[in-house]
Amino acid sequence: MKHIPVLLDAVLDGLGDIRGKTIVDCTFGAGGYSRAFLVRGANVIAFDRDPNVVADANALKGEFPEQFEFVAAPFSKIADLDRTVDAVVFDLGISSMQIDVAARGFSFRMDAPLDMRMAQSGMTAQDLIKEKSVAELAEILRVYGDVKKANILARAMKEALPETTFELRDLIHNPKDVAPVFQALRIVVNDEMGEVERALEAVPGMLTLGGKCICVTFHSLEDRIVKNTFRTWTIPLGDPRMPVVEDAPFKMIKPVVPSEIELENNPRARSAHMRGVVKTY
């Protein structure tokens, strides 16, 4: 399936006029967001740790040599950027281009080695199952997949030590648990929640006055991290009992979910939420 950028119109509306502005696209993927920003006159610095996206990034660089810069690194590395920018945008979760390549091991619908690494380096999902204890695996399944019989399934995984996606799928007796189990392992293999937390921590110091941070989330845990972080940024500073309390350093942009039309065109958008904030001082 062709990758379709989710909530792109809402993101563009949230950003407003971006001509001449510098935007960090933290999740380049297939380049849909970056291209949309570039054609509207923005300068874009894009991050992605997946080596499979480099060819697309190089092609986009060829089209926009003066406007586009690509950094082959996890988006938590935005903390290393030694400059201020006008916006930071995240399209979190996994992309269709990763799911649809069987050899990557993300999908339970195609048989492949049990890999799931976005960066194609480090611990695979197969390694994770081997190295974690039953108790640790069960906790991963509960926290990141909301799997009800996590202990039973974790024990089965440790006994079988599956090496392929189909071997893992066939261990899961409840069909409703298959997707959550694969999701839970993928999140931990790629430290997805830690990446979000570290990247968001860097954002306030990067943004210019009036700068915006916009996040599109797909999983309840990453959405909670974004929502809670933005809430702390929008709390007024100072002691409310004192005569003068400073305004909050950020204000919220109204959250957006996909329209029925977008869901018809792109069913993978069904769990998406867009949240954003504007730096006020």
- 228 and 257: one domain? yes
**How far is residue 107 CA from its own chain's centroid?**
17
- 92 and 199: one domain? yes
Q: Which of 139, 171, 189 is the last residue of a domain?
A: 189
- 239 and 206: one domain? yes
Cα–Cα dist 199/203, whole Å: 7
- 207 and 181: one domain? no
Q: Say if 110 falls within a structural domain.
A: no
Phi, psi of 174 (to 5 degrees): -90, 115
Cα–Cα dist 208/206, whole Å: 7
Asked whether the predicted pLDDT for residue 100 surpasses 90, the reply is no
Asked whether the predicted pLDDT for residue 185 surpasses 60, the reply is yes
Asked whether the predicted pLDDT for residue 186 surpasses 60, the reply is yes
Give the mean pLDDT of 200-220.
96
pTM of the full structure: 0.90
Q: Do strands 85-91 and 207-217 pair parallel, antiparallel, or not at all (unpaired)? A: parallel
Asked whether the predicted pLDDT for residue 81 surpasses 80, the reply is yes
- 181 and 227: one domain? no
* Residue span of the structural domain in which 48 resides: 8-97+193-279
Asked whether the predicted pLDDT for residue 242 surpasses 60, the reply is no
Q: Say if 109 falls within a structural domain.
A: no
Q: Say if 183 falls within a structural domain.
A: yes
- 93 and 211: one domain? yes
Q: Say if 141 falls within a structural domain.
A: yes
- The whole-number pLDDT of residue 244 equals 55
Give the mean pLDDT of 201-208.
97
Cα separations in angstroms, 183 against 29, 77, 117, 151, 238: 18, 24, 12, 17, 41
Q: Say if 152 falls within a structural domain.
A: yes
Answer whether 180's CB lies under 8 Å from 55's CB: no
- 184 and 198: one domain? no
Cα–Cα dist 95/69, whole Å: 21
Q: Which of 145, 166, 189 is the last residue of a domain?
A: 189
Averaged pLDDT of the chain = 93
Asked whether the predicted pLDDT for residue 191 surpasses 50, the reply is yes
Count up the domains in the chain and report the number: 2
> Does 76 or 107 have the greater pLDDT score?
76
Q: Which of 149, 169, 189 is the last residue of a domain?
A: 189
> Does 181 or 270 have the greater pLDDT score?
181
> Does 1 or 40 have the greater pLDDT score?
40
Element (H, E) at 255: strand 250-256
Give me the CATH number covering residue 224. Answer: 3.40.50.150
Q: Say if 81 falls within a structural domain.
A: yes
Asked whether the predicted pLDDT for residue 1 surpasses 50, the reply is no
- The whole-number pLDDT of residue 105 equals 84
- 183 and 201: one domain? no
Answer whether 46's CB lies under 8 Å from 69's CB: yes
- 269 and 130: one domain? no
- 85 and 53: one domain? yes
Residue whose entry in the numeric block shows the structure tokens 């007024």: 236
- 218 and 93: one domain? yes
Give me the CATH number covering residue 181. Answer: 1.10.150.170
Q: Say if 1 falls within a structural domain.
A: no
- 168 and 236: one domain? no
